[in-house]
Amino acid sequence: MKERLRIAINAQLAPDGASGGTVTVLRALAALARLEDGDEEYVFIAPHDEPEWLQSLLPARQLVVRGPAPSEWKTDRLEPLKRALGPLRPVARGVRRFLGASATATMMMDTGAPVSPEALAPAAAPQNFYEGLGCDVIHFPFQSFEPCAVPFVYNPHDLQHLHHPEFFTDSEIARRERLHPAACRAAHTVVVASQLVKRDLVERYGIESEKVQVIPWAPPPLPEVASESRADALLTLEAKHGLTDGPFALYPAMTWEHKNHIRLLEALARLRDRESLRLRVVCTGHKTDFWPRIEGRAGELGLKEQVKFTGFVSREELSALYRAAQFVFIPTLFEAASAPLYEAWQHGAPAACSAVTSLPEQAAGAALLFDPLSVEEIALALARMATDERLRDDLKERGARRLKDFSLERTAKAYRAVYRRAAGRALGEEDRRLLGWDWMSDRSVIEDQTPTKERET
């Protein structure tokens, strides 16, 4: 009888470090456990001190393992021994299955009910933690990784530090340049969200093209409140954030410098001063170290009453904002893939986004594109979205069609195919089709959509 394929997913992130994109990834991976076909078993590795926060993201009865305590991490990773054990991995996995059942069972928790940290047994020693899980494949979905003797799948989010080194310290660039090439070369499969990142890995690091799999993160299901009306959404937002009725644009993004909030503010001021067009904008997301610069510029431009920065909002509040917004605006300078673009389409909101990096391939004509380095182009795009109802209606329809190209179940099945291949399991016809599919190639809705003065003449 064939043994069940056992996959560990490293989710050792503290709740306060979980951005919206991180939660999107976790919810997408949680869909693996909901697949009705297949004989796979999934184990999520939670942060040592706060494992319970994963419960709200995972289905009931999902196995969770508490990771090692930070004080237990050691620099000696027994690398020579692990390299020597490489050819013996199948035998080692069999031994772990025989010895590890009772050892790992005490570390697992049923997410169907609350579990306190005290109820979880201590993690194994870091140098054999991953090997000791008795899994066939390890998945590192959040850029960090630990060398181990188990075949692993790795997700480098992007190589932004090479495109925009001005946004990173020298030490952070050096860290990424050590981490990414090493992880990609050691991994069985590297998975990225767009062709842009795949090209970067192949061209910058010399990673074999066949080793890099493009699988976009599909948006998770909407919260239950998403079925409420716009009027109900506005009541929620007025009570929580003092947001009164009237049109506004939404930009959901943490205040990192590359998110380009300052040029957005300058474009809003230009529209106010030159066109007497006062657009309201709501910006959500954690406030980073760059926030004081943004706040200062908003004050200089006299925009503090026109632009509202809410900070972090709950999933339910964000859904209400999407439903209440006139349009979604994404002026970022760099994205491997944009979760807000998917979310706008989910909520039926028209979207405009930067014509850079992966965004044109992701949008495929279902968003108004503009140059995010040009304050003038940002202002033009804002004005068109605010004043052209036909454009907004058209983009809503395009977004609904484009959203059909992305499915949470399809994404989960594609990752499952990656795990099966990494473990040396036979692939079915559906697995081979998903691994050979160009996810971003659909251009059926492409038309010219450049918001420039030339188009308007």
Q: What is the pLDDT of residue 38?
A: 84
Over residues 401-407, the mean pLDDT reads 92
Mean pLDDT (whole number) for 399-427: 94
Q: Which CATH number fits domain 6-214: 1.10.3470, 3.40.50, 3.40.630, 2.60.120?
A: 3.40.50
pLDDT of residue 297: 98
User: What residue segments make up the domains of the chain, in order of their start?
Assistant: 6-214, 224-404+443-456
The confidence score (pLDDT) of residue 50 equals 76
- What's the N-to-C CA distance of the chain in angstroms? 70
Query: What amino acid is encoded at 208 in this protein?
Result: E
Q: Which residue would you say has higher pLDDT here, 127 or 182?
A: 182
415 or 449: whose pLDDT is higher? 415
**pLDDT digits over 369-395, tens only?**
999 999 999 999 999 999 999 999 999
Predicted local confidence at residue 20, as pLDDT: 60
At 377 the pLDDT is 99
Helix (H) or strand (E) run with residue 46 in it: strand 41-46
Contact 128, 3 (CB under 8 A): no
pLDDT at 39: 86
Taking the CA atoms of residue 180, residue 186, residue 190 and residue 192 in that order, the dihedral angle to the nearest 10 degrees is: -10
Determine the average pLDDT of the residues in 225-252. 76
Classify residue 180 by burial, with Cβ atoms within 10 Å: 0-12, 13-18, 19+.
Answer: buried
Asked if the model's pLDDT at residue 291 lies above 90, the reply is yes
Tell me what pLDDT residue 357 has: 95
Whether 224 shows a pLDDT value over 90: the answer reads: no
**Distances from the Cα of 60 to the Cαs of 19, 106, 269, 382, in angstroms?**
23, 18, 49, 43
Say whether pLDDT at 74 is over 70: no
Phi, psi torsion values for 64, nearest 5 degrees: -130, 135
**Residue 66: in which H helix or E strand, if any?**
strand 63-66
| Position 453 confidence tier, pLDDT thresholds 50, 70, 90 | very low
Q: Which residues contact 247 (CB under 8 A, 6 or more apart)?
A: 279, 280, 326, 386
Q: What is the 3-state secondary structure (H, E, C) of 107-150?
A: CEEECCCCCCHHHCCCCCCHHHCCHHHCCCEEEECCCCCCCCCC
**pLDDT score for 428:** 94
Residue 240 has pLDDT above 70, yes or no: yes
pLDDT at position 413 is: 94
Q: What is the pLDDT of residues 146-186, one digit of tens each?
A: 888 899 999 999 999 999 999 999 999 999 999 999 999 99
pLDDT band at 102 (very low <50, low <70, confident <90, very high): very low
DSSP 253-288: ----GGG-HHHHHHHHHHHHHHH-----EEEES---
More confident call, 150 vs 25:
150
Check if the beta carbon of residue 386 is closer than 8 Å to that of residue 326: yes
Nearest-angstrom CA–CA distance, 51 and 67: 9
Q: How much is the mean pLDDT over the chain?
A: 82
Q: Do domains 6-214 and 224-404+443-456 have the same CATH topology?
A: yes
Q: Is residue 338 over pLDDT 70?
A: yes
- Segment among 223-237, 302-316, 408-422 with least mean pLDDT: 223-237
CATH classification number, 224-404+443-456, choose in 1.20.140.160, 3.30.2010.10, 3.30.70.100, 3.40.50.2000:
3.40.50.2000
At 108 the pLDDT is 37
Q: How confident is the model at residue 94 (pLDDT cuts 50, 70, 90)?
A: very low
Q: Supply the pLDDT for residue 456.
A: 41
